[in-house]
Amino acid sequence: MVGSGALLRQCPLLLPQNREGTAYEGFVTAQGRDFHIRILLPMDFQLKNARIECSWHLKKILHGYQHILKQRLHSCPDLVSFMVELKTILEIALKNTQDLHIARPPEYYSCLVRDLEILGWNKVAYVDSGFTTIKLKAEDSCGRQHLVTLKLNAKYPTEPPDCLVDFPVQFAISWMPQNSLIDIYNQFLAALESLKEFWDAMDEIDGKTWVLEPENPTRSATTRRIAIGNNVSVNIEVDPRHPNMLPECYFLGADHVVNPLRIKLNNNMHLWDPEISLLQNLKDLLEIDFPSRAVLEKSDFAKDCGICYAYRLDGTTPDQVCNDPRCGQPFHQACLYEWLQGLPSSRQSFNVIFGECPYCNK
């Protein structure tokens, strides 16, 4: 559920439309202007599957920022933090929209071209025709490719550009009027190295296990749902600042399979060794070997939902499993919720609904 008090403080004009807290409508405010917005959350409150509807005017302003908003939906833990990110992006977009109409002095272009020449054109991935948006490319010490997008306003270099990156943490630059693009680039390189261990850990997981979600993880994604076996997986949330520490773990699957894993994790927690890799630690604590990409296919774990007969539904995969060991059929949470709501025999307690399995009637 969303922290209603925190949301009210951040967006006092955005109000819940139902008791469940899955629909919000109202206005988001930036630079003294109000923009109409509607947010629809799924029943499991997963932001990555939220739907955002906004006025044509707001849609036009945010046109060039869709990929950043999509990343933020995947990486923000709750609606409050996403709304903070949305307001920040909206402020940048509004500022850049206004800047497009401000005539830039000749010194702006001469200064910018000089900076780019000193930096080296080989580090430039993209420049728009108005020299207001620049993308710089860099390689970290492990050979991974990264981009930083700079949105420059008419007062550059007196004021710094806005920097947009695919990072799991905020990238804040220090800037003085005498600084140049080289200073930003060097700070970008330093930030890449500070996140090296985090990306190393995530790359090892992506390369050696079957990751069920997210399907194509961005560099800012801090969660991975890793297949353990048929209809059982673990969702981990890694702290990018401390990637060698024990991550938050949430098991998905039938109770008879998941409970022994929970017990092993709790009993072996003291064995966690920050000197060895995150993946090896997980194997040691859970006393398992994750299914190998070399031996098994993803389809071995991708069992379709027993209600809609599809694997992926609006970006989600089946994560609810029948507890009966003889059944073990997986379902999408949304499908199962809808099914159980329609059964006269099911009962609901707060936000938990109880009923019979559509497959085995247990």
Instruction: Name the pairing type of β-strands 347-349 and 330-331.
Output: unpaired
Structure token pair of residue 336: 């199962």
Q: Give the pLDDT confidence score for residue 2 in this predicted structure.
A: 47
- The residues with which 163 forms a beta bridge, in sequence order, are 150
Q: Give the pLDDT confidence score for residue 63 in this predicted structure.
A: 83
Q: Give the pLDDT confidence score for residue 330 in this predicted structure.
A: 82
Cα dihedral 264/269/270/272 (nearest 10): 110
Q: Give the pLDDT confidence score for residue 124 in this predicted structure.
A: 96
Strand, coil or helix: 238: coil
- The residues with which 126 forms a beta bridge, in sequence order, are 135
Reported as a single tens digit per residue, the pLDDT across 318-350 is 878 887 777 778 888 888 888 888 888 888 877
Q: Give the pLDDT confidence score for residue 99 in this predicted structure.
A: 62
Q: What is the C-alpha to C-alpha distance for residues 211 and 194, in angstroms, rounded to an integer? A: 25
What phi and psi values does residue 229 have, to the nearest 5 degrees? Answer: -170, -165
Instruction: Name the pairing type of β-strands 347-349 and 352-354.
Output: antiparallel
Q: Give the pLDDT confidence score for residue 121 in this predicted structure.
A: 95
Burial label, 330 (beta-carbon count in 10 A; 0-12, 13-18, 19+): buried
**Rg of the chain over CA atoms, in angstroms?**
24
Q: Give the pLDDT confidence score for residue 315 in this predicted structure.
A: 67
Q: Give the pLDDT confidence score for residue 5 in this predicted structure.
A: 67
Q: Would you say 227 and 233 are in contact if contact means Cβ atoms under 8 Å apart?
A: yes
User: Looking at residue 123, what DSSP letter applies?
Assistant: G
Residue ranges of the chain with per-residue pLDDT less than 50? 1-2
Q: What is the C-alpha to C-alpha distance for residues 319 and 307, in angstroms, rounded to an integer? A: 13
Spatial CB neighbours of 212, under 8 Å, sequence gap ≥ 6? 225, 226, 227, 233, 298, 301, 302, 317
Q: What is the C-alpha to C-alpha distance for residues 300 and 282, in angstroms, rounded to an integer? A: 21
Arch. (CATH architecture) of 106-201: Roll (3.10)
Q: What is the C-alpha to C-alpha distance for residues 147 and 134, in angstroms, rounded to an integer? A: 10
- CATH class of segment(s) 303-361: alpha beta
Amino acid at 4: S
Q: Give the pLDDT confidence score for residue 67 in this predicted structure.
A: 84
Q: What is the C-alpha to C-alpha distance for residues 314 and 50, in angstroms, rounded to an integer? A: 10
The superfamily in CATH containing domain 209-300 is RWD domain-like (3.10.110.20)
